Chains A and B, each alone.
Chain A
Amino acid sequence: MKEIDAEAIDAIREIVNIGVGRAAGQLQEMTGSHIRLQIPNITIVPFDEITTVGNTLISGDTLSAVLLDFKGTFSGISAVVFPPESAAALVMLLTGEQEKSPELDAMRIEALKEVGNIIINAVMGSIANILSEHLIYSIPVYYEGPMVTLAGLRRKNVRDECVLLARTNFMVEKLNIEGDILLILEIGSLEALVTSINRASA
């Protein structure tokens, strides 16, 4: 794992925290439940090892994830990932369905995609706004599987590179629904991001 300047980490953590906070607000509004949010964990790690950082959800064998690529001054992937049970429970809660053994069928996946879209847009919208950066985004996609495979499918060219991983775990209190909001930044973008943050805070 590479060393990273502590000040830069703090700056990135702060900017991610603002975006994630806004996303949590949206989620709270949708679910009507308090969202417990962890402080974003920022690390630089080889792409293939992103699942080994700490005790994280993303090390699970199967995840339900909504992912979005972005390109611009800085590039990467923004994602919201859930264990499949949490994903199903969240959709059931939001659609008001009641079923003993819910599964993520095509309609529920569409619904989950919208939820992921709201969360990711809140994060990325905040970051882009604060930094006054214009980014180009892909259409959000849904994947199910291990995180490395999923993210690797989106970013084949960075598989051997280091990336900056910002991970924030959230929990919908009383409902036992948890997830991670991830920001995977290409390492070449780090300097541009820090410059952008410094410029915005100047």
Chain B
Amino acid sequence: MSAKPKFAMYWAASCGGCEIAVLNIHEKILDVDANFEVVFWPVAMDAKYKDVEAMEDGSILLTLFNGGIRNDENEHIAKLLRQKSKILVAFGSCANEGCIPGLANFSPIKEIVDTAFSTITTVNPNNIRPQANYDMPEGQIHIPTLYPLLKTLDQVVDVDYYMPGCPPESHQIAAVIDLIIQVLQGKAELPPKGAFIGVGASTVCDDCKRTRDVKKITEFGRIQLHHADPALCLLEQGIPCNGPATRQGCGALCPTAGAQCIGCYGPAEGVVDYGARLVAAYASVIDSKDPAEIDRILDGLVDPAGQFYRFSLAGSLLRGSLTAIRSNGN
């Protein structure tokens, strides 16, 4: 048996991009292998849930958990890994605030299932729906049950550290892995519990090289319809940019490349509700005092709730739309 500390990584409701971001640390992945024994990582190695169940409590040193809690299987594994891990990291936007899978919280479950199984993109002439339990000749089989609302990891279990991003930037992952290896060698100390790791202390705007002048917006417009000035703040040009509320960490990649920030690093330090902060930021710079004119300018924001909660609906104060909450009610 190896005496190396144990490492695990799991994906719940997620896309797999977080795993790719981890592999994108290139040769640094060899440091992970040199310093850790990988005991559970479904995307990279074969392991069964029962293997994890058989481990001693607290025997895994570090678990990176990505993905939101969408069904009972996700919750079971989240609780299991919490029990078996010393350090549990909410890794990536889904585990932190719901991310794209969390957008499901805008819609009732029935609508989601109908769209997936009975719209034009699916050939399903008999309108078959997945059943949680199904009797086969070999015995009953079970598939996980969808929850009414997607939850974030810390809505289900206690989380030690938060590492946001969709996905977290690879150089940030490498820095965090370096830090943990240094901790193992006694050369550094762990940050206090509950800390955000692999991020900056401010907002995306602080890394953005575009010139900020006076924000006065007379019209909002979609970026593809604009010939945006490459040197000027996008929001000042009326292009909905989420930089002012978004946590620093990516190095302002999108605005540097000419696209607006969509907020994948989640709420910045001190922001309780990401969408509410953006409502304040956008509304404050509208250049009008006339209600009718304000309404006309706001018409340029085609989908405000989607714009403000693209990554953070499940982690927001309201958790989901009222239609979803009411129709999914027990």
Do these two chains interact? no
Which of B's residues lie within 8 Å of A, judged by CB?
Answer: none
